[in-house]
Structure 1
């Protein structure tokens, strides 16, 4: 297990993260440029080695009910990788990469009024829903085939709804 100081050094190496000391010698790191209300990337990093990284929009990680992954026993490379992925997942660039539907760019907002970002979500019954952002009104639409299921004002709300309904984001 890496020491607290080693984990701090890894998190400190990301200039886009802002360090916040919290109670009981714990440290959080925030990504203030997040496109979501969610800004905490590293949560409650503690001298005992415990700590969490936000992976609520990532696939392939065992997350808790807050979307956090425990990094206590991760290697330095694993911690760097999950922090990088977490930061990306909180940006437009990250949404583009995750969906594969739009070319990635360095912009932090959609480039054109016609841009559509799409994701496919599936459940254990092999049913699938499509989550789409249409830039002209900045609303997230959930479709069952060609039928509109529901609409949300934020990706976070839509993803929470889909998760509560037993869906997970399908791998590319």
Structure 2
């Protein structure tokens, strides 16, 4: 097991962390650049060698409570990895992914045209600007179109 001083030295090698002294000789290390309210990466590093690293909901680590993993028996390599993972976790920003809206034209024998559109969470069928039908799944919407004699325009 690494000593308190060894853990402290390893943690302080991460320049992005700021040391904060708390009660009973314990230390917290904050990541001020966190994209979340949560800024503490290392919590309650105690002179007896016990302490915690915040890993949120990363499945790689078995957490106790509040997304914390106990580092008491971690090796140097394990400690470095968990701190790197924590910093990466707190750095990630879920940017909205702009998805293309799904639209597909369907035709029948008489050249009547319907438009299948994914309007989350529904699959809607439009005749011009008017809503013809609405379904919970794409399969249900396509089944309806086939039953009504329509086929995707690419297959016509």
Give the TM-score category using the shorter length. Answer: 0.5 to 0.7
Aligned Cα RMSD in Å?
1.9
Structure 2 counterparts to residues 1-172 of structure 1, below 5 A: 1-92=1-92, 110=95, 115-116=96-97, 147=121
**Unpaired runs of 5+ in structure 2?**
99-119, 123-156
Q: C-alpha separation between the residues in 2 aligned to 1:147 and 1:64?
A: 36
**Unpaired runs of 5+ in structure 1?**
97-109, 118-145, 149-172
- Give CA deviations for 1:9-42 in whole Å, capped at 9, x if unaligned: 0110000000001000000000011000000000
- Residues 57 and 89, structure 1, Cα contact 8 Å, conserved in 2: no
- Give the Å deviation of 1:147: 3.7
- How many residues align? The count is 101
